[in-house]
Structure 1
């Protein structure tokens, strides 16, 4: 005869636990262990999908706003002639050939000459050199040396005077030199 199980106990968790075969519970525990991380991965995936949809909507909205705005042309400005002339003069002054000018003057200056100032004029391509010499012979030799430099086309002694206040009585002089425009 076959064994009959008679159970009058009401259905409950403990009854189900008691009556379930041992393999069922281990299978259930394995399924929960597998589904738990899978559920969180699915939740993360859905969150990323929502974020991507929001970003796509934002990009589309930004593109629509950018397309709606027509490019605005900058207003045409007229520069007064006086201002244009001042700007051009400043640019010309900034574009002086300083290195070549300095090198040419430095090459012609002996130790007996003290350079005091270099005052270039970009419009005229000239430079006024202010210097001091111990004697008039040194001054004349310096002017002749400047004339031999290929950088300059014209060299003129503009003025000279003896500095009476200095005990050495040096000769202070100014030389105007015009440089080649193609330098």
Structure 2
């Protein structure tokens, strides 16, 4: 009979222990390198934020560092930002809800072109006939969101069987709380 050896705790070779230590060291070095990269990115972003805030005037710099051309450019950028802010503060949802809420059995909206800067909206639509177009015009005038509704042009589509009317309207879209 052969001798049976039971080994409940196998011997670890020095090679596998050193391999584990090497892998751990590589992971530690990679983590340190990534951390330094993130710190550098954060510092760059902080510098960019500081420059942007100075440009917006939140952190005043010495007035002598801006040339007249840079000052004009900064003023133009601030005016553009105010314009965008005014456009975003308009009550778009109320305008869309009003237009969607109108009975549109005989009228189909084709395009809606709002100009928030001027406080106007242009509506292109197609009506079944002239009477439907005039009824739609009166409903827009009666709405609380639009005023000064004007018919810009209309064209009867004689080539189509039912002779629909394509038309363009313009309206003033000034709402009391639209401007800050």
TM-score interval, normalised by the smaller of the two chains: 0.5 to 0.7
Residue number in structure 2 paired with 1:134:
128
Aligned partners of 2:156 and 2:165 also within 8 Å = yes
Tell me, what secondary structure is at the counterpart of 1:103? helix
SS of equivalent to 2:113: strand
Q: 1:139 to 1:83 in 2, by over 3 A?
A: same
CA contact (8 A) 2:112 2:121 kept: yes
Question: 1:165 & 1:88 partners in 2: Cα distance?
Answer: 47
Which residue of structure 2 lines up, in the alignment, with residue 62 of structure 1? Answer: none
Q: Distance in 2 between matches of 1:94 and 1:166?
A: 40
Question: Which stretch shifts more, 77-86 or 107-116?
Answer: 77-86
Q: Flag the 1:131–1:74 CA change in 2: closer, same or farther, 3 A.
A: same
Which residue is equivalent to 1:166? 160
Distance 1:155 1:176 in 2: 6
Alpha-carbon contact 1:108-1:149 (below 8 Å) kept: no
Structure 1 portions without partners, runs of 5+: 1-71
Instruction: Determine whether 1:154 maps to 2:148.
Output: yes
Give the secondary-structure state (helix, strand or coil) at the position aligned to 2:50: coil
Structure 1 position 74 matched with structure 2 position 39: no
TM-score, with normalisation over the residues of structure 2?
0.54
CA contact (8 A) 1:125 1:179 kept: yes
- The structure number with the bigger radius of gyration is 1
Q: Which of 68, 87, 92 is matched with 2:81 structurally?
A: 87
Is the 8 Å Cα contact of residues 109 and 126 (structure 2) preserved in structure 1?
A: yes
Alignment correspondent of 2:116: 122
TM-score (norm 1): 0.53
Return the offset for 1:165: 4.5
Alignment length (residue pairs): 113
